[in-house]
């Protein structure tokens, strides 16, 4: 999705709400993937797994190179305004986890297990997405960030 924001003309103005459920990058950050380095492979407790990830990420980079490029200030501003990440956490659903974690306002999914975050957060996810057509996601994220100040 971030790659789309980086490359598709008009996407920044058309995307009104973006939700991740325990979103993360394999390497790098949410707005810029990274291919594991040879040093990452050598330092890993599972070097074969990291070496395989490196091969897979190199293949992905050929098809979606923008995902591996630094995001522009406009992409970061868009993600900050309309994006929210429902992360795995022991906190109750919707509790603020971080005002800005890799560009996204982050709240608890209400579950500690990554595979269960989508199901656990479904109602809150759609509540946030419903703000998009009215252009209210930025206001909701600003209010969330204000609680962290």
The predicted-structure confidence for 128-144, as pLDDT tens digits, reads as follows: 999 999 999 999 999 99
**149 pLDDT higher than 80:** no
pTM above 0.85, yes or no: yes
User: pLDDT (tens digit, 9 = 90+) per residue, 71-119?
Assistant: 999 999 999 999 999 999 999 999 999 999 999 999 999 999 999 999 9
Quickly tell me which residue has 């501003």 as its tokens: 77
Separation of alpha carbons 89 and 112, rounded Å: 5
**43 pLDDT higher than 90:** no
* pLDDT band for position 40 (cuts 50, 70, 90): confident
Give the pLDDT score at 84: 97
| Percent of the chain residues past pLDDT 70, beyond the cut | 99
Give the pLDDT score at 44: 86
Return the bridge partners of 107, or none. Answer: 86, 96
Separation of alpha carbons 43 and 47, rounded Å: 7
Give the pLDDT score at 104: 94
Separation of alpha carbons 8 and 102, rounded Å: 21
**66 pLDDT higher than 90:** yes
Distance from CA of residue 97 to its chain's centroid? Answer: 14
Give the pLDDT score at 26: 75
Give the pLDDT score at 79: 95
Nearest to 30 by CA among 103, 88, 113, 108: 103
The torsion of the CA quartet 72, 32, 137, 129, rounded to 10 degrees, works out to 140
At 33 the three-state DSSP class reads strand
């Amino acid at each position: 999705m971030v790659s789309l924001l980086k490359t598709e003309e008009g996407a920044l103005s058309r995307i009104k709400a973006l939700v991740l459920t325990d979103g993360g990058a394999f390497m790098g950050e949410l707005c810029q993937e990274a291919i594991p380095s040879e040093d990452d492979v050598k330092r890993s407790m599972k070097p074969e797994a990291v070496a395989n990830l490196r091969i897979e990420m190199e293949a992905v980079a050929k098809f979606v190179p923008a995902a591996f490029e630094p995001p522009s200030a406009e992409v970061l501003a868009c993600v900050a305004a309309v994006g929210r990440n429902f992360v795995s956490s022991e906190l109750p659903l919707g509790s603020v986890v971080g005002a800005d974690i890799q560009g996204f306002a982050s709240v608890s999914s209400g579950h500690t297990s990554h595979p269960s975050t989508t199901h656990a957060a479904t109602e809150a996810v759609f509540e946030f997405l419903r703000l998009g057509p009215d252009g209210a996601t930025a206001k909701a994220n600003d209010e969330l960030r204000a609680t962290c100040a």
